[in-house]
Structure 1
Amino acid sequence: MDTSTQTTSTTLASNHPRQSLLRSPTFHQALAGFLGGATTTILLHPLDLVKIRFQVDNKRRAGILRGTVAALRTIHSQDGFVGLYRGLSPNFIASTLSWGFYFTCYDTIKSKLRKHISPTADLTPAHHLLASSITGILTCLLTNPIWILKIRMCADRAADPHAYQTFRAGFRDLYTNEGVRGLYRGLVPALFGVTQKSVQFVAYEELKRWRIHVRNGKIGGGIHERESGTGLIESGKNASLNNGADKLGTIDFMGIATVSKLFAMGVTYPYQVVRARIQNQRGNNAGAYKSTLGTISVIYHGEGVSGFYKGIGPNLIRVLPGSVLMFVVYESVSKACRMYLA
């Protein structure tokens, strides 16, 4: 085979749709987000279950560790190991779908912003906030019905009257009895919850940027930097992927993910309780939790400020390792894709 033929073959191969997809940074982001979401959901679902049962209970109060352990023991004794994974199907679908879509859309919007501003421009925290906010709203609209099913399945035991037995049966019942409006119950506090992920991603991006500076010894160096399409930071004309996030190790990502998640959760946790109360109301004639402001008023007057932080114990136990695991898997898969699929 002569050189021209070989070149033509190579070109055709590189233009093959399947190869183009595998080499696409967007596909890499989607795959990394999907696998990260799947891993954390499967391993940590029992803590999600306990958190939701605390959130929807307007009477029970429990400590961070003791209450969580006691709840897990009670569920296991009543319903066995299977009971600890009730509601896993909507949780798995929503988590993998939302994380995969989130990372893909977030990376795409950042790339569009960079092209609009300048190919060599350095995105600011405001740009990251804008990208994550838009992505969060779109993700919320896409997944809200699934989160409702997760809330309701986790809030009930399988033996409870009118409990959803399967994801399909629950969706059919929700749509039949409550219509399209029911599918988007709790959307307002859910949209407010977009701020948590937005704040987390801005903090994550800035902490990663700072850590790369430290590892490269560039603090205060004043060199020109820009972010690549995969969210990495490049320095100068001769920068490569290995000069950015690829230099960070698992411990770096664990620390960055932990700090960013703690910061975001501390600012926005109460919305989760409000959303859980609203979404757990069944039928068109909802009970005490009919609206966002009404729910806030009911919780405040009936349970005080502490009522807005119910379930924060198991949530802390869940989200810290969960957030760390999510971002470590995401960064690891992203790095593997760049090394072997790019």
Structure 2
Amino acid sequence: MSPTSSTATSLTVASNGGPVSTKGSLQRLFSHVKIENLAAGLSGGVVSTLVLHPLDLVKIRFAVSDGLALRPKYAGMFHCMRSIWQQEGLRGLYQGVTPNIWGAGASWGLYFFFYNAIKAYTKEGRQAELSPTEHMLSAAQAGAMTLCITNPIWVTKTRLVLQYNADPSTKQYKGMVDALVKIYRQEGVPGLYRGFVPGLFGTSHGALQFMAYEELKREYNKYRKMQSDAKLNPLEYITMAALSKIFAVATTYPYQVVRARLQDQHNKYNGVLDVIGRTWRNEGPLGFYKGMVPNLIRVTPACCITFVVYENVSRFLFGQ
């Protein structure tokens, strides 16, 4: 069953098995919405982005590296970072940071916001813990809802990160707002939603990550003979977050390459299948894993920072 159909079913059947109105179901769903989850998730996303944006920039540049002559050639991750630093300084390593902060902050904030509301709604009236499948479906639904709101921000971030020339007069976009306006004027709404389809597939990444994170916490607390939602120390949160992130990245990384190439202004593709076909023909299966090493180096600590900040800020806001 798809996440969408699962949500629709849960919104039209009461916990006692009888039918209820959609309006009543939505009211019950919104009763579980907590602004504290939004604030805590946003805090985690912003902090991790400020610390680790340069690695995100390197990951994207490797992901779109398809042999075009107009692109700089990098021998490796550190060569890439050193070249950007020498040519453009610290500002070069933080190209695209504004939409990244907006995107990461909004994405993590909305993700935790929707995820906790859906999870609480699903558990309403039950004593039993949610199953791994229910955790996964809750995360997938939250991811799809978040992407619908934030995809234009991610397109602008990718476009800004892929401006290679250090001379500002030759750059196509002057900043986040300028990029949003120009993309809309030149490409319309479809331009702002490039990469949306592989992004939807990417909700499986978040779903797998949150499922693994929740299950690791539950099993660990069961081992400690504690309640499943018992507070952990920062090192324990870091361990759970790192293991769940590595699992999710290793499983779903190719979609990120496809998505970045669709959003790249230097090349034109006729959709997802065209990207997959050309990447496979020209670069083989390894082409779908370009940039995965810098991505792992970036997202693992980013995830750890985000989850530690989220868990501690949310407990502070909820007075726990």
2:230 to 241, 245, 253: 245
Q: 1:183 to 1:119 in 2, by over 3 A?
A: same
Tell whether the 8 Å contact from 1:174 to 1:183 is kept in structure 2 after alignment: yes
Structure 2 Cα separation of the partners of residues 172 and 276 of structure 1: 20
Runs (5+) with no aligned partner, structure 2:
1-31
SS across alignment from 2:34 = helix
Letter in 2 for 1:273: V
1:43 to 34, 47, 51: 51
1:320 to 273, 289, 300: 300
Is 1:276 matched with 2:260?
yes
Q: CA shift at 1:198, angstroms?
A: 0.6
1:78 to 72, 76, 87: 87
Structure 2 Cα separation of the partners of residues 123 and 80 of structure 1: 49
TM-score if structure 2 supplies the norm length? 0.84
Alignment of 1:1-342 (within 5 A): 26-59=34-67, 67-115=76-124, 118-157=125-164, 158-159=166-167, 161-216=170-225, 233=228, 244-246=229-231, 248-281=232-265, 287=268, 289-339=269-319
Structure 2 Cα separation of the partners of residues 139 and 96 of structure 1: 11
- Output one character per residue of 1:279-311: Cα deviation in whole Å (capped at 9) or x when no partner: 1136xxx62x22101100000100111111111
Tell whether the 8 Å contact from 1:114 to 1:123 is kept in structure 2 after alignment: yes
Q: 1:112 to 1:129 in 2, by over 3 A?
A: same
Structure 2 Cα separation of the partners of residues 113 and 149 of structure 1: 35
Structure 2 Cα separation of the partners of residues 138 and 274 of structure 1: 21
Partner residue, 1:13? none
Tell whether the 8 Å contact from 2:74 to 2:80 is kept in structure 1 after alignment: no
Partner residue, 2:19? none
- Output one character per residue of 1:110-161: Cα deviation in whole Å (capped at 9) or x when no partner: 111111xx33232111111111111111111111111000001001135374
Identity within the alignment, %: 42
Q: CA shift at 1:181, angstroms?
A: 1.2
- Output one character per residue of 1:68-110: Cα deviation in whole Å (capped at 9) or x when no partner: 1111110000001111101001101011001101101100001
Structure 2 Cα separation of the partners of residues 163 and 73 of structure 1: 24
Q: CA shift at 1:162, angstroms?
A: 4.5
Q: Which has the larger radius of gyration?
A: 1
TM-score if structure 1 supplies the norm length? 0.79
Structure 2 Cα separation of the partners of residues 185 and 100 of structure 1: 22
Structure 1 Cα separation of the partners of residues 90 and 265 of structure 2: 27
- Output one character per residue of 1:11-38: Cα deviation in whole Å (capped at 9) or x when no partner: xxxxxxxxxxxxx971221111011000
Moved more, 261-270 or 207-216: 207-216
- CA root-mean-square deviation: 1.9
Letter in 2 for 1:76: W
Tell whether the 8 Å contact from 1:61 to 1:310 is kept in structure 2 after alignment: no
Structure 1 Cα separation of the partners of residues 98 and 307 of structure 2: 22
Tell whether the 8 Å contact from 1:144 to 1:184 is kept in structure 2 after alignment: yes
SS across alignment from 1:38 = helix
Letter in 2 for 1:155: L
Structure 1 Cα separation of the partners of residues 33 and 195 of structure 2: 34
Tell whether the 8 Å contact from 2:33 to 2:117 is kept in structure 1 after alignment: no
Tell whether the 8 Å contact from 2:45 to 2:306 is kept in structure 1 after alignment: yes
Q: CA shift at 1:164, angstroms?
A: 1.2
Q: Aligned pair count?
A: 283
Q: 1:61 to 1:273 in 2, by over 3 A?
A: farther
Runs (5+) with no aligned partner, structure 1:
1-23, 218-224, 226-232, 234-243
Structure 2 Cα separation of the partners of residues 297 and 70 of structure 1: 29
